[in-house]
Structure 1
Amino acid sequence: MSPRPVAWAAQSPRPAACLGAPGLWEASRQALVARRCRDLARAQALLLKAPARAKDLASGLLAEAPELTEARIVRGRARLRLGDSKGALADLAPLLEVGATGVADPAALWDGGRAALAQKDALGAARFYRALGSRAALLPDRSQQVVAYIEIASALLATDSAAVDDVLAYLREARRRSSGSGLSGLCAALSAVAWLGEGRDSEAQGALGDLADPTGLARFRDGKAVALPDGVLDAALAVALERSQPELSAQHYRALAQSPLGKGKLAKLAARQAGAKRGGR
């Protein structure tokens, strides 16, 4: 008999008790994997109603198997629901790595975008939301899809590199699904902002024609219904109120200019409007 199998057995990472029992290692390994899968499924199920418990389960799995990316994602999502956006963003970062499509479900990507927004990381948020773009239609609830498309459009609107056609395409998807959601007005206002950012006044006015209650946009300020990058809602309110309440509109333009978007294309919109007023138009 060749000595190689004996040497290989001596080098095996299996416990000594398993070396002489073919199949025992495989059976115990399968049992371990099955238990971890059960714990992971429990953590996933507890995310919405008991995020603290979900976090504990996921953390326990990571203590045993730090390489278990799925557990890290669940822990990140639980952390976001517990108000720890910094920890959530750190845990959800693997979703943006090459080859992460196996764990990049749309809900997790959505949470990653929101965690980045909470950390004032507009570029990071845009990366998550771009990845979500092709998967948002897979979210289980139509109302979730509407909000996701609005947030995707807003995140792209807040970046200089995003094409206006992409922003408007996502807003059209949101509006197509928005009947009865109370979000059609926000879609219209954001569409107007996108058009004005490109200097397309007539298209912007056409979009605003679908906005019945401009002052109602203020209800999105708390970020509970829709998460928006800093300055985006001020831009929407500034544009929407420009004719009916010019003084209030001017306040929102000033807030936009002072926001983190102050050096981006939305600030150019504020400067353009200020210039128009000085010119007497």
Structure 2
Amino acid sequence: MTPGEHHGEKVRVAYSVPITFKLEGKEVYGARRNDDGSLDVPFAIIEKVPVFPGCEDADNMRDCFNAMLQKHISKNFRYPKEAQEKDIQGRVNILFFIQEDGSIGNIKMRGPDKLLEDEAERIISLLPQMVPGEQGGVKVRVPFSIPINFRLKGPDENTALQSAESRSVSNLMSVMAYIKKVGAKEFLRCMVSDETKGLPGVNVSIQGKNETMVTDFDGIIEIEVQKGDVLIFQYKGLPTTMLTVTDQQKYQITNK
């Protein structure tokens, strides 16, 4: 090529260009790579969902998984007697993982009292061995989040309603967010809660895009955005919440 010139003299011109090497099928939007090299792929986006025993021949594996999980919770639900006596109730948010071998592990809970948290952990720990989820033909860990509600009905334990329903106790979702700039890109850092505690496992997507991410155990998520994007926040038992990205730097939305 014709050499570059500076003040009429031919000079050497330094030039750099990045070359990206990406293995086909290895990049998964919304997935998380762990320090040990393992991959966490949320239930909402995984190619091949874990198979709950009894769902082997189901037409819709996701629907069957959810139905069987709810059946398991209802069957094993026990309202702690001490919690009834102390009039303790509320929602316990649970995040657990279906491991690469199909076992259940890394159970985390957040609720109004340890008595309820312990009961929620006991229920989830009783889940059966499953066929593990797969992404790109590789077995991966699958995080899954679900609320368990403990509600008392009446003044004494004899009228306690032992509820494993998915309805929210507060029926409220709150999103606090702010724009975070990294170079030329903009990210929205969101804290999703029920105004008392962070909500783990909230599905977050951008309207019109076939991509989903989930909040971590503290209800935090960072997602790359552009002006005009409409973010959709969905969590079992709570109203869907939407946020439109504008020129604002901070956002606060509460949906009842």
What TM-score results when the alignment is normalised by the length of structure 1? Answer: 0.22
Structure having the higher helix fraction is 1
Structure (1 or 2) with the larger CA radius of gyration: 1
* Structure possessing the higher relative contact order (Cα contacts under 8 Å, 6 or more residues apart): 2
